[in-house]
Structure 1
C-alpha cells in the first residue's frame, strides 16, 4: 500500500509515513542486501532500468523486493533532486559503514550485524509499519497469525487507513517467515527458504504449531555494544541533548532497544554495565532507586565509536 504522509505520527518511528505490504511477499534472503547495495554503488540508476532484476539475477518481483528491503534497512536511499522525481539511489552513511568493501562486515558474517540491521529496520523513520506494530504492541505470551493480523487491523482502523485485509495478511506472513524457524519436516521451497534473520531466534513456535511467542531475555549472539549503540540512538531520537535515561525506559518504551530486541531489564543492565567498563563516557547510576544510563558525549558520535570499536576499527 502507499505511503500516507498526511497521517499524524503515531509514535517517533512512524514520522516518515505509514508503509504496508511493500515487500512483494518476499522476506529478505541471504545475499539480497549486499547484492542491492553493491548494485547501487556501481549504478545509482539500477532501479530505473526495466531489466534491473536481470542485472541482479532474480525475478522481477524479487528485484523490487531487494530495492524495498535495502531502503527499509536504511542501506540505500533515493537521491532527491529539486523540482523532479529521482529514481536514482545512493548508499547511506550506515550502508557504507556496514557493507562497503572496507566496511564493518560486508558479507554479514557476524550475527551481530543481523541484530544491527534488525534495529535499523525498526528505528525511525521505519518503512515497515507492520514490523513496528508487531514488536511494540503485541504483548501476549503466545499469539497466532490471526492475532497479529487483528493487531494490524486495529492500528489501521484507529488511524482511518484504507488497507485491505489481504495486504495485512501478506505482512503477517512475511514477518513470521522472517523471524521464525520453519518446521524441519516442511518441504523446502522458494516460499519457505529460511531468512538470515531466523538466526536471531526472536520468534519461536509455541507448543501448538499455530502459535508463536517472542523469546525474551539475553541473547548469546547479541553483543552488549549493539544494545548500547541502539540505546544511544534511541535517546538521541527522544532529545539530541539528553544525556541520561532510565534502564526501565530503555527496556519498556515503545521503539526502544528492549522492545526491539525483546530484552529484560536485567539484560539491558548487563549490556550497559559491560560497555561502561570499556568506555569511560558511559556510566550506570542509581538516582533515588531509579537505575539510569548516563553518557558524556554526543549520543550518535558515541554510538558510532562503540560500533567502530566492536568491529575492530578503533
Structure 2
C-alpha cells in the first residue's frame, strides 16, 4: 500500500495560508511537470542555484514558475533538503511511475483535482472551482466576486490586480487557445488542462462559460481517488450527496470541482461503488441520500492503480 498521508497537504482551507501571483504570469505547460519532476529527483536543489536555467533549459522566470506549479499541483513540496517529490508525485511521475509523461488524459484530471483543492498555494483555483457558481461570466465579474470572497471569508487584503492576474492565468490554462496568424506559437501552446472541456470562451464576446454538465470525465479511477481523498481529509464515514455536490464548509465540493450536474455525480458514484466493491455505498437515511465509507481507511491509490492497471489507451493529442 502506498500511503500519501505524510506528504499530503490538507484539503481544508487554512485562512492563514493563501497565495497569489506566484506563477510569474506563466500558465502551466505540458512538459513542465515532467521536466521539473525529473530535475528535482536528480537534485533537490536543482531550482535553487544559478545553474537552474541551464538544467531546465528555460529562462529564470520560467524556473520560478515551474517551481511553483510543481507545488501547486501537489506533486512536490519544499523540505529542508530542497524541493522533493510527494509520495503521490513519486507514484505518478517517477520514471517507472503510473504516467510520467502525461500520456493518459486521466492524469490531467488528477492534476486538476490536486490543483483545484489546494487552497494554500492555488487560492484562486480553489475559489473558482469550489465557490464560483456563475455559469457565464466576464473577467471583471469574476474578479469582483473573488475580491469579495477573499476579503470577507479569508480576511486577506491581497491587491485586486494580483488576483485578477491569477484569474487571467486560470482562464488561459483551461480554455483552448485560438490559433491564428497573429497568435505567437508559444502562446498557442495549450495548458494540458485545456483538454478537459471545463471552460470555454464564448465567441464574439468577452464572456466565458464554465458550467455543470453531464460530462464523461473524470475517469472512474480519478473520481474514486478524489472521493477517497476527500473522505480521508474530512475524517468522516458518511457525507450527504448535497455536501459532495456543493461542499462541506471549509472543504472542496466534489461535484463543483469537476463541473458535474447532480445526476452525473450520482451516476459516477454508482460506478465507483461497482469499480472496487466493498469500499463505498449509497444509502438513504431520513430522506437524505448519503455516501458511506464501508472501511475505517481506504487508500486513494487503490483507485489510481485500478485505472492504470487496466491499461486504458492513452488519449492521443
Asked whether the two chains share a fold, i.e. TM above 0.5, the reply is yes
The 1-side partners of 2:41 and 2:157 are apart by 36
1:136 and 1:259 in contact (8 A); partners too: yes
Cα shift at 1:237: 1.7
- State the 1:259 CA deviation: 1.4
Aligned equivalent of 2:290: 292
Q: Is the 8 A contact 1:201 1:215 kept in 2?
A: no
Q: Name the counterpart of 1:179.
A: 174
Does the C-alpha gap of structure 1 residues 122 and 289 become closer, same or farther in structure 2, counting only changes over 3 Å?
A: same
Deviation, structure 1 residue 115: 0.7
Q: TM-score, normalised by structure 1?
A: 0.87
Secondary structure of 2:189's counterpart equals coil
Partner of 2:281 in structure 1? Answer: 283
Offset, 1:313: 7.9
Q: Would the aligned equivalents of 2:178 and 2:188 in 1 still touch at CA under 8 Å?
A: no
Q: Secondary structure at the match of 1:310?
A: helix
TM-score (structure 2 length as normaliser): 0.86
**Residues 16, 124 of structure 1: 8 Å contact kept:** no
Q: Which runs of 4+ in 1 moved over 6 A?
A: none
Are 2:74 and 1:55 equivalent residues in the alignment? no
Q: Tell me the residue number matched to 2:25.
A: 25
CA distance in 1, matches of 2:179, 2:28: 20
User: 2:99 is matched with which residue: 96, 100, 105?
Assistant: 105
Deviations 1:201-227 (A, max 9, x none): 111123543111113223334212211
Asked if the contact 1:53–1:63 (Cα under 8 Å) also holds between the matched residues in 2, the reply is yes
1:162 Cα offset (Å) = 3.5
The residue that corresponds to 1:206 in the other structure is 202
Decide which moves more: 280-289 or 196-205. Answer: 280-289
Report the secondary structure of 1:47's partner residue: coil
Residue 123 of structure 2 corresponds to which residue in structure 1? 129
Contact 1:32 1:66 in 2 (8 A): yes
1:89 offset after TM fit, Å? 1.3
CA positional deviation for 1:152: 2.3
RMSD: 2.1
Paired residues in the alignment total 295
Contiguous gaps of at least 5 residues in structure 1: 1-10, 81-85
Greater RCO structure (CA 8 Å; 6+ sep): 2
TM-fit CA distance, 1:295: 2.3
Q: What residue in structure 2 maps to residue 3 of structure 1?
A: none
Is the 1:16–1:127 contact (alpha carbons within 8 Å) kept by the matching residues of 2?
Answer: no
From the superposition, tell whether residues 106 and 69 of structure 1 become closer, same or farther in structure 2 (CA, over 3 Å).
Answer: same
Assess, with a 3 A threshold, how the Cα gap between structure 1 residues 154 and 211 changes in structure 2: closer, same or farther: same
Partner Cα distance (2:230, 2:192) in 1? 25
Compared with structure 1, are the counterparts of its residues 277 and 162 closer, same or farther at alpha carbon in structure 2 (3 Å cutoff)? closer
CA contact (8 A) 2:15 2:155 kept: no
8 A Cα contact 2:109 2:218, kept in partner: yes
Q: Please name the residue that 1:12 is paired with.
A: 12
Which of 162, 167, 174 is the aligned partner of 1:167?
Answer: 162
* 2:220 paired residue number: 224
